[in-house]
Amino acid sequence: MATNRDSIAMSDIECPCIRDICPFIIAERKVTRLQPRHAVALLAKEPATSPFTIKVANVVSSDPRYRRAGVAKIFVQQIASGQSTEDRPHWEFPILGILNVFSSIHSSGSKVQDAAILKDLYSSFSKILDPILRDFHLLTPSGQYGDNRRCAVARLLLFFLDDPMTKRKLYEEKILRLIVHCWLETSPESSMRIYATSLVVEVTSREDKTGGPPPDYLERIFNVVKKSSLVSRVNFVLKSKSMTEETLGQEIAALANLTMQAAGALLRSLKKDVHHSELRGLIDALAHCEDLIQNLIAKSPNGMNILVHLLVNTRLVDVASEGFKKASRGPPTEPGTYRVGCFYQFFENLYNSLVLVQNSDCPLEVASAYFDAARASIERMGATTLTP
Ligand SMILES: [Zn+2]
């Protein structure tokens, strides 16, 4: 992503002075003087927290010779063998170096050429993550230092989603706890928060050739995170006035994924055999769901994208049609009144948007994505509803 975000992370853990005797200035000059392979050889003898380490971590993104001289292996070694102090993680500089290796491979389109480097990094997942998990307390401080640490870890995990083997490891409860923690505890004002939120969105929705998230991933998340603290943190974040539109859009997607998947799970269990006693709970859940979805779509800076995302990635249409069926079997409502939870308005909006898209001279940017998503969802629901 944008390079200015990366430099925000680094600038506040380096000395900002420009004096000749500053160890950071000395280290920087040393890195400039050395050939990349000599700098990498020297790095192997440096402690993870030394100014030389952060200076090498900074330059690896601008010159492929560092990564091809094995700099990532040295960073992994530093993380695996170092020791954090009570208030400072030893892995902070090396993970920025690893992030720069990942992002420079991505941005230069050299995944094939650098496949061995990526493979090495993926197989070092535990070596990198175990020390971070051991230092969980160093990921709790509020404020910019804590925010940057949490978001650097989140950004690192985003890269590990690209590999099927390490992707599976992200769904272990200890890692899910880390993922949700980095998201919930980061200030909405942090410009880096987008990484933590994107990670939650990706973990709750990413499909690849090995499939989507494991079926019980929500249970695993709620085993490690209290629902009440999740709700109160999310409310706090959504009230923030200084969030960028990009971040807010992602926040809403993260929240929508968690809610819709939870509602889908509830429906699946209730559909089997709905006892009278459970029916009330189901109707309430449907009402909350419709309320939330309408709000999410209406308040999002990009409601259309959110709707497409929900249609493609969640059980939204299943939940909505269940609400619709329940309402049509229930007692009639007074004329002119509207009962939340029957999703009548939702389907009406879905229909109106389709008609609007077809008739408009100036189609919306997401028109075809929306059209495809709505048609696929409705066809799928039609098939399951009409099949005896
Ligand atoms: Zn200084």
20 Cα to the center of ligand 1, angstroms: 8
34 Cα to the center of ligand 1, angstroms: 21
The model's pTM: 0.74
58 Cα to the center of ligand 1, angstroms: 17
Is the per-residue pLDDT at 223 higher than 90? no
**Given this model, what pLDDT does residue 212 score?**
84
Better-predicted residue by pLDDT, 193 or 276 = 193
**In-domain check, residue 133:** no
73 Cα to the center of ligand 1, angstroms: 28
Domain count, the chain: 1
**In-domain check, residue 221:** no
83 Cα to the center of ligand 1, angstroms: 24
Taking ligand 1, which is a single-atom ion, which protein residues have CB atoms under 5 Å away? 15, 17, 22
**In-domain check, residue 57:** no
Mean pLDDT of the chain: 82
SS3 label, residue 128: helix
**Given this model, what pLDDT does residue 188 score?**
85
55 Cα to the center of ligand 1, angstroms: 13
Confidence grade of residue 173 (pLDDT, cut at 50, 70, 90): very high
**In-domain check, residue 30:** no
What are the two backbone dihedrals, phi and then psi, of residue 7, each rounded to the nearest 5 degrees?
Answer: -75, -25
**In-domain check, residue 369:** yes
Q: Which of 8-12, 132-136, 160-164 has the lowest mean pLDDT?
A: 8-12
**In-domain check, residue 307:** yes
Question: How far apart are alpha carbons 37 and 25 in whole angstroms?
Answer: 20
Is the per-residue pLDDT at 239 higher than 80? no
**Given this model, what pLDDT does residue 275 score?**
60
Cα angle vertex 64, ends 42, 203, to 5°?
100
**In-domain check, residue 282:** yes
370 Cα to the center of ligand 1, angstroms: 53
Question: How far apart are alpha carbons 223 and 176 in whole angstroms?
Answer: 10
**In-domain check, residue 71:** no
Could you tell me the end-to-end alpha-carbon distance of the chain, in angstroms, rounded to an integer?
Answer: 49
* Domain range enclosing 352: 244-388
Question: How far apart are alpha carbons 118 and 100 in whole angstroms?
Answer: 12
19 Cα to the center of ligand 1, angstroms: 6
Question: How far apart are alpha carbons 166 and 308 in whole angstroms?
Answer: 28
Is the per-residue pLDDT at 386 higher than 90? no
Which pair of tokens denotes residue 25?
A: 């200035």
50 Cα to the center of ligand 1, angstroms: 13
Question: How far apart are alpha carbons 75 and 1 in whole angstroms?
Answer: 21
16 Cα to the center of ligand 1, angstroms: 6
26 Cα to the center of ligand 1, angstroms: 9
Better-predicted residue by pLDDT, 362 or 90 = 90
Do 180 and 157 contact (CB within 8 A), yes or no?
Answer: no
373 Cα to the center of ligand 1, angstroms: 55
What are the two backbone dihedrals, phi and then psi, of residue 17, each rounded to the nearest 5 degrees?
Answer: -75, 170
User: In sequence order, what DSSP letters do the residues of 217-254 get, joined into one string?
Assistant: HHHHHHHHS-HHHHHHHHHHHHT-SS--HHHHHHHHHH
Is the per-residue pLDDT at 1 higher than 80? no
Max Cα–Cα distance, the chain, nearest Å: 82
